[in-house]
Amino acid sequence: MRYVIKYSYDGSHFNGFQRLKDKESVQSTLESALTILNKKQVLIKGSGRTDVGVHANASVAHFDLDIPIPKDHLIYSLNRIVHPYIHILECQEASDDFHARFSVKEKKYVYKIWCGAYDPKKYDYYLMYDKKISLKRLRECAKIFVGCHDFHNFVSGERENSNGTIYQIKVKKRKNVVEIMFRGKSFYRYMVRNLVGAMLLYNEGKCAIIELKKMLEKDYHKQMATAPANGLYLEGVYYE
């Protein structure tokens, strides 16, 4: 029987999502817990991979169990095992053709920037930023990236296809926190962090709009800054 879970996790306590030999990851932690409940090895498929230090407020994964377990009992039992840095929010039964990664229609990420006095307790959860932030400049930059583009200059590693669509980028500030929200499809490795890095360089006057526009051209190659992982959150995964 196939199940789908929605869950959150504190990425500062894991070596990213993907299963790694001899290192604790979100995937391996969930798989170990499910294997205990299923009494046979369980492998999960996530909606995507997050890097070391990246957090999730609502990630999604699917898996198959050999024995049927009531959804409420599954949530309760999983949370007892994966506590305290992973928390299962929801659980549903799914059809056999559902795939947590390939069925995705849209994802939402939020990047959080702390602009107040340095606070070591916030270090794992925000980019500590000690420069003046112009919301106007961040929004000017955001307009360039919205739409269908070739994001090859904002992706880590070689890919045959770096085309993607960003539906919306929204910048807001509340007290000492600036949040940059990205909605779209086909986010690739480091893509959101590289986009934020470029936006902050533009904020600081270290690059021009015309240069950022050229970085979306297929035959133009340039790398800019990558924002740290600790400020990034996978905020939602949507299938309809």
Q: Residue 235 in contact with residue 181, Cβ under 8 Å?
A: yes
What's the CA gap between 75 and 65, in Å, rounded?
14
Residues 6+ apart with CB under 8 A from 103: 239
Count of CB atoms situated within 10 Å of the CB of 240:
5
Q: 101 in a domain, yes or no?
A: no
Q: 33 in a domain, yes or no?
A: yes
| CATH number of the domain bearing residue 216 | 3.30.70.660
Final residue before a domain boundary, out of 41, 69, 94? 94
Can you give the pTM of this predicted structure?
Answer: 0.95
Q: Is pLDDT of 157 > 90?
A: no
| CATH number of the domain bearing residue 35 | 3.30.70.580
Domain count of the fold of the chain = 2
Range of the domain at 14: 2-94
pLDDT digits over 40-88, tens only? 999 999 999 899 999 999 999 999 999 999 999 999 999 999 999 999 9
Taking the alpha carbons of 42, 48, 53, 56 in that order, is the dihedral positive or negative?
A: negative
pLDDT digits over 183-193, tens only? 999 899 999 99
User: What is the per-residue pLDDT for 160?
Assistant: 82
Residues 220, 184 share a domain: yes
Residues 116, 222 share a domain: yes
Task: Show which residues are catalytic.
Answer: 51
Residues 112, 227 share a domain: yes
User: What is the per-residue pLDDT for 36?
Assistant: 97
Q: How confident is the model at residue 102 (pLDDT cuts 50, 70, 90)?
A: very high
Task: Count Cβ atoms within 10 A of the Cβ of residue 64 and give its class: 0-12 exposed, 13-18 middle, 19 or more buried.
Answer: middle
pLDDT average, residue stretch 145-156: 95
φ/ψ of 144, rounded to 5, equals -65, -35
Q: Is pLDDT of 232 > 90?
A: yes
Residues 8, 116 share a domain: no
Q: Is pLDDT of 159 > 90?
A: no
Token pair in block for residue 99 = 């795939």
Query: 29-33, 42-46, 156-160, 164-168: lowest mean pLDDT where?
Result: 156-160
